[in-house]
Amino acid sequence: MAEYEKVLTRNVGVPRAYDIDVYESRGGYAGLKKALTEFQPDQVTDLVKNTGLRGRGGAGFATGLKWSFVPKGPMQKYLVVNGDESEPGTFHDRELLENDPHQLVEGAIITCYAVGITKAFFYIRGEFALGYHRLQNAVKQAYEKGYLGKNILGGGFSCDAYTIQGAGAYICGEESALLESLEGNRPMPRSRPPFPAVVGLYAGPTVVNSVETISNIPHILVRGLEWYTSLGTAPRNTGPFIYSLSGHVNNPGNHEGPLGLTIGELVNDIGGGVLGGRTMKAFIPGGASSAWLKGDCWDVKLDFDTLGGMKTMLGSGAQIVLDDQCCVPHAAVRLAEFYNHESCGKCTPCREGTRWMVKLGRRIIEGSADSKDIDTLFRIADRIGFGPPNKMTLCALGDASTSCITSTVRQWRDEWEYHAKHGRCPTPTGKPVNLAV
């Protein structure tokens, strides 16, 4: 793997980098100063559009394009930074919040300047107590230094920022449920269209971006277009990326590299290989919501389009290794339980379907089912759809809940059959070696 200079995580491990003095001494807020003095707002949006930056929160939507959907005019507009990270296996935003909150605050102010926004909300997962308090302090320090508030750095632009803690529901990370939560309502996703860019928080135009996406922005301003597009594969899979690596691997953790490392580079060169020198049976390439790959996927590139072309996704940016001692049906049903627990219940196919997947999955695991039940399990999963052709649900949680079932029944049908017949795992010990989620 080629040499790589860390950008997004360059301050991780630097003592007190969450304090503004240390952050500034390492070049912090130079991006904001450059944006305010050398760029018109639209030029910032164009620059971000040209970099090809795509959202790191799950859907991979083009960031600059999203910003350009916000209508022009004097109405109140909002930025909502999504820090509700809670998908199993995903932990990059937490690290950014705890170690480098000013990078996020700076990125948010630049985003507001670009889009004509004067109010930014940071919505942070309730369990991230340390990250939340460091972010709160960063916002306070940014006000004290004149980076937030009225007439920022004397350039005429004004912006306020607010920090809010969630209360531990995965669905609050879904952007429209998050907006409901911010408004003080029960967090249930909204029907779309209209999309938040047009009708969002308090019915005003709203940009929703994830913590990692926004953390890219200061570096784009400072280092420029050419640098950004030199990382990854231009034009659609560019920039730095934080891989949250976990599971049966020697060196788990957040590893930054260019977008599009191969699975072999991530797991072997950076991750130190599979635990105990064992074989990789399965690989989850984009968080618990993504379809699983067979373990011989070493040359597959971890980017949006390669994975999309394989009917899986880069999703929330989490990669999970499962070795040859793992029981696939057990691990899949464990994930199905998570989605069943987190379904908000608004749509019948998701509310009932996730429950049925768990019930039937458990029956198969216990051996009180037969081959036909595996077909039924697959059919139930296949009918909870957000995207085309089914469009049965209001948000992507419905679809996400099915990936662990459909992809494993397709590729490890023998393991599901073995369980249905014998009521035990097809692993060397006959016992489950569960996914640590």
Cβ neighbours for 25, distance < 8 A, ≥ 6 positions apart: none
Site for ligand SF4 in 189-218 (CB under 6 A): 189
Pick between residue 240 and residue 329 the one whose CB is nearest to ligand FMN: 240
What is the closest distance, in whole angstroms, from the C-beta atom of residue 222 to ligand SF4 in the complex? Answer: 38
DSSP 284: E
- From ligand FMN, ligand SF4, none, which one binds at residue 82 (CB under 5 to 8 Å depending on kind)? ligand FMN
393 binds ligand SF4 per the rule CB under 6 A: yes
Beta strands at 78-83 and 119-124: parallel, antiparallel or unpaired: parallel
- From ligand SF4, ligand FMN, none, which one binds at residue 393 (CB under 5 to 8 Å depending on kind)? ligand SF4
With CB atoms as reference, the residue minimizing the distance to ligand SF4 is 350
d(CA 286, CA 137): 32
Pick between residue 199 and residue 396 the one whose CB is nearest to ligand SF4: 396
Residue type, 117: I
d(CA 11, CA 122): 20
Binding mask 247-276 for ligand SF4 (x = CB under 6 A): ------------------------------
- Interacting residue with ligand FMN among 61, 143, 195, 298 (CB under 6 A): 61
Beta strands at 293-294 and 318-323: parallel, antiparallel or unpaired: unpaired
Site for ligand SF4 in 337-366 (CB under 6 A): 343-347, 350-351
Peptide bond into 74 cis (omega under 30): no
d(CA 177, CA 188): 5
DSSP 236: T
Pick between residue 84 and residue 415 the one whose CB is nearest to ligand SF4: 84
Helices (H), 124-250: 129-144, 175-182, 211-229
175 binds ligand FMN per the rule CB under 6 A: yes
Binding mask 196-215 for ligand FMN (x = CB under 6 A): ------------xxx--x--
70 binds ligand FMN per the rule CB under 6 A: no
- From ligand SF4, ligand FMN, none, which one binds at residue 61 (CB under 5 to 8 Å depending on kind)? ligand FMN
d(CA 25, CA 225): 24
Pick between residue 214 and residue 267 the one whose CB is nearest to ligand FMN: 214
- Interacting residue with ligand SF4 among 398, 404, 407, 418 (CB under 6 A): 398
What is the closest distance, in whole angstroms, from the C-beta atom of residue 339 to ligand SF4 in the complex? Answer: 8
385 binds ligand FMN per the rule CB under 6 A: no
Site for ligand FMN in 386-405 (CB under 6 A): 395-397
What count of other Cβ atoms lies within 10 Å of the Cβ of residue 222?
17
Binding mask 233-262 for ligand FMN (x = CB under 6 A): ------------------------------
d(CA 81, CA 432): 39
Kind plus residue range of the DSSP H or E element containing 120: strand 119-124
- Interacting residue with ligand FMN among 41, 58, 101, 432 (CB under 6 A): 58
d(CA 57, CA 70): 19
Pick between residue 357 and residue 397 the one whose CB is nearest to ligand FMN: 397
- From ligand FMN, ligand SF4, none, which one binds at residue 55 (CB under 5 to 8 Å depending on kind)? ligand FMN
Angle at 200 between CA 199 and CA 203, to 5 degrees: 65
Q: How far is CA 302 from CA 44, 117, 183, 213, 306, in A?
A: 28, 33, 36, 17, 7
What is the closest distance, in whole angstroms, from the C-beta atom of residue 384 to ligand SF4 in the complex? Answer: 8
Q: How far is CA 222 from CA 35, 47, 50, 76, in A?
A: 9, 12, 15, 29
Site for ligand SF4 in 159-178 (CB under 6 A): 171
> Directed axis angle between helix 371-382 and helix 348-366, to 10°?
160
DSSP 159: B
The contact set with ligand SF4 (CB under 6 A) reads 171, 189, 343-347, 350-351, 393-395, 397-398
The contact set with ligand FMN (CB under 6 A) reads 55-59, 61, 82, 84-86, 170-171, 173-175, 208-210, 213, 395-397
